[in-house]
Amino acid sequence: MSYFVYILASRKHGTLYIGVTNDIARRIFEHREGLGLKFAKKYGVHRLVYVEALDDIRVAIQRERTMKEWPRVWKVRQIERDNPEWDDLTDKLNR
């Protein structure tokens, strides 16, 4: 089973949200529908700009915690390394 650490953004260089899940497609759907956390709904963080797959839930949870502690500039650098235009990666999940 895979686990995913992901970053959502409200827009390019906008508000960021970092999470972890075992079902990335379902979790993105929940964020977009305003289910679960109020943060995504309040700040409009619906654009999937970064996703990382890991095989161990403990490693995934630790990665999420570590990334949440990073300075914002490190988070932006992580996103822009693989997704310089901050494109929404949701459609690529289904391919």
Domain extent listing, the chain: 3-93
Which fold does the domain 3-93 belong to in CATH? GIY-YIG endonuclease (3.40.1440)
Which pTM does this prediction carry? 0.93
Report the chain (95 residues): mean pLDDT per 10 consecutive residues. 94 96 92 78 90 97 98 98 95 72
Among positive and negative, which fits the CA dihedral 36, 72, 49, 59?
negative
Alpha-carbon gap, residue 33 to 44, rounded angstroms? 11
Please tell me the predicted confidence (pLDDT) of residue 88: 95
